[in-house]
Structure 1
Amino acid sequence: MAGRLLLELFIFSLPFLVFGLFLLATQSAQDAGQRKWPIQMLFLIGIVLATLAWFVMIALEPRDRGMCIEPERVENGVVIPARSYPCEHRPGDVGIPRPRPEAAPGDAPA
């Protein structure tokens, strides 16, 4: 958990670090009499860093290939927690919502 938090803080701080590098580079370029970095290069660096961070977050997401997740929901004022269940892999059913299982009469909240 601490590692995940540190990774997210690092990813959040990347734009600030890149901007700091930009300020250092442009200041040293001005001192040397050279041209500043073009804004297109900074935009390209930002896109690359955002894309890499996106792929890293996808790679670190815990998952099990054979399990599907039903999200947490509220029914009749009662919070029903999220649950994992084995997926039925049928390519013909892709995009069709699955019907929710009906609760047994004895399971209804009072």
Structure 2
Amino acid sequence: MLIGRIILQALIIALPFVVFGLYLYATRSAEEAGRRKWPIQLLFVIGLALTTIVWFAAILMEPRERDVCTEPARFESGVLIPARTYPCERKPEDVGVPSSRRGTAPADAPD
């Protein structure tokens, strides 16, 4: 799995160089044949399309389960606490509220 990610990253990094090489090859062969060069706008659109496709492919390949949240790995007091998954609690009223303040009434709320 890690090798696949490394290869994907290498391809993403190499893609602009490959496209630029194709551009140089195409313009050189077009000049020799007496045709017009490729317009830079077309190359921009092709690059944007390829980037968007790779972005969506990466999103779709990411493992994900419905109603399962993930807490990333972190360091606390010099100790690595591994990542964990847990069932998500769906409470719309808690959206955007830090977890330390959930379930408590605001300070200015009447009792």
Q: Return the TM-score normalized by structure 2.
A: 0.77
Please tell me the residue identity of whatever aligns with 2:28.
Answer: Q
Distance in 2 between residues matched to 1:42 and 1:15, nearest whole Å: 11
Q: Return the TM-score normalized by structure 1.
A: 0.77
Q: Identity percentage over the alignment? A: 59
Gaps of 5+ in 2: 101-111
Higher relative contact order (CA 8 A, sep 6+): 1
Please tell me the residue identity of whatever aligns with 2:7.
Answer: L
Report SS of the residue matched to 1:28: helix
Tell me the equivalent position of 2:9.
Answer: 8
Please tell me the residue identity of whatever aligns with 1:29.
Answer: A
Distance in 2 between residues matched to 1:50 and 1:73, nearest whole Å: 31
The size of the alignment, in residue pairs, is 100
> For 1:18-29, what aligned pairs fall within 5 Å after superposition?
18-29=19-30
Structure 1 residues 23-78: Cα deviation after superposition (integer angstroms, max 9, x where no partner): 11111110111121122221111111111111011011111122111122222222
